[in-house]
């Protein structure tokens, strides 16, 4: 009887240990599965965060590059506009210097002489502002007469500051040699060439 009791105790112990070991194995397996799930979720979240960070970084880099390119374009445009303004100021100063020099009367006579040879130039008028007309009238008329170009009329018009205009066919057609028109014409002619030179210097 004592032997059977001992066997029963041993069996109970064995069954308890086996059950405990099975339960422990289940708990361990569940814990391991949960740990693996947590690690997988964390890795997936980390991958998403890295991907988001890369995308955000790429956007930031592109935005920065675009901003630098735009700033470069704006700087170039501003520089070209500045060069164009400076060029126009230089041209204007030179045109005004010629138009206020002793050569101005000669310039008018040469322009008239070239127009007098054209068939459409039956009637030629030179239009100056009042100040220039008062200053140049005698010299211009004397030079025109000396060159056998006595039929030219000098007229005053204060709608422009300096330079002159030539009107033909009773004023039907005007050729503008005013300081502003000549400055614009020369600036428009020179600007692309100056920009091209600046590009070559880069």
**For the segment 124-160, what is each residue's pLDDT rounded down to a tens digit?**
888 888 888 888 888 888 878 777 766 788 888 888 8
Percent residues over pLDDT 70 in the chain: 81
74-106 per-position pLDDT tens digit:
887 887 788 888 888 888 888 888 888 888 888
Distance CA 54, CA 10 (A): 64
The reported pLDDT for the residue numbered 77 is 81
Separation between Cα atoms, residue 146 and residue 150, nearest integer Å: 8
> In degrees rounded to 5, what are phi and psi of residue 148?
65, 35
Spatial distance between the Cα atoms of 90 and 187, rounded to a whole number of angstroms? 9
Q: Which homologous superfamily does the CATH classification assign to the domain defined by 102-201?
A: ATP synthase, E subunit, C-terminal (3.30.2320.30)
Which string of b and e fits 35-44 if b means at least 16 CB within 10 Å?
eeeeeeeeee
Q: How is the chain split into domains, by residue range?
A: 102-201
Q: What's this model's pTM, rounded to 2 decimal places? A: 0.59
Q: What is the pLDDT averaged over residues 184-191? A: 85
Which is more confident, 64 or 122?
Answer: 64
Average model confidence (pLDDT) for the chain?
Answer: 80
pLDDT digits (tens, 9 = 90+) for 36-61: 888 887 788 878 888 888 888 888 88
Determine what percent of the chain is predicted with pLDDT higher than 90: 0
Model pLDDT, residue 57: 84
């Amino acid at each position: 009887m004592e032997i059977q009791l001992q066997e029963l105790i041993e069996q109970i112990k064995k069954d308890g240990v086996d059950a405990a070991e099975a339960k422990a194995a289940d708990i361990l397996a569940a814990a391991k599965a949960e740990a693996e799930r947590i690690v997988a979720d964390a890795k997936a979240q980390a991958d998403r965060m890295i991907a988001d960070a890369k995308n955000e970084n790429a956007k930031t880099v592109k935005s920065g590059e675009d901003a630098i390119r735009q700033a470069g374009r704006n700087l170039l445009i501003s520089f070209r506009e500045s060069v164009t303004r400076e060029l126009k100021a230089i041209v204007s100063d030179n045109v005004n210097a010629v138009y206020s020099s002793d050569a101005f009367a000669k310039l008018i006579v040469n322009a008239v002489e070239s127009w007098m040879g054209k068939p459409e130039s039956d009637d030629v008028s030179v239009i100056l502002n009042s100040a220039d007309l008062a200053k140049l009238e005698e010299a211009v008329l004397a030079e025109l007469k000396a060159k056998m170009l006595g039929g030219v009329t000098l007229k005053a018009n204060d709608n422009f500051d300096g330079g002159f205009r030539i009107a033909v066919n009773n004023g039907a057609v005007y050729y503008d040699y005013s300081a502003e028109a000549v400055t614009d014409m020369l600036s428009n002619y020179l600007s692309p060439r100056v920009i091209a030179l600046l590009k070559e210097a880069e």
